[in-house]
């Protein structure tokens, strides 16, 4: 399950500082979110894909750690990002 280059370029352009900024926390979280959504759809159709499920759990854990880092460093950016990506409900 990989994101095609067109989708990746759009995500990087939208969340990165420039078109080649794939390393910033916001961009990494956005890319992981897209991969998680794609893999979730795959697992709905293929419920016995246990390796895919393990990969999904690892991606969710990585995104959780990145979100925690962003929350500590930039609370307003964190709130804006989770609202824009529709990750969770905010209080």
44-73 residue pLDDT tens: 999 999 999 999 999 999 999 999 999 999
pLDDT score of 90 more than 70: no
Distance CA 23, CA 48 (A): 33
pTM above 0.85, yes or no: yes
Taking phi first (over 0 means left), then psi (-120 to 50 degrees means alpha), and beta for anything else, what does residue 86 get? Answer: left
Distance CA 69, CA 10 (A): 24
């Amino acid at each position: 399950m990989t994101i095609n280059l067109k989708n990746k370029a759009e995500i990087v352009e939208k969340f990165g500082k420039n078109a080649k900024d794939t390393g910033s926390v916001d961009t990494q979280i956005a890319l992981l979110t897209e991969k998680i959504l794609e893999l979730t759809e795959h697992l709905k159709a293929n419920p016995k894909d246990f390796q895919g499920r393990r990969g999904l759990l690892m991606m969710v854990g990585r995104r959780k750690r990145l979100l925690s880092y962003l929350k500590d460093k930039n609370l307003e950016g964190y709130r804006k990002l989770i609202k824009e990506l529709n990750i969770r409900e905010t209080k």
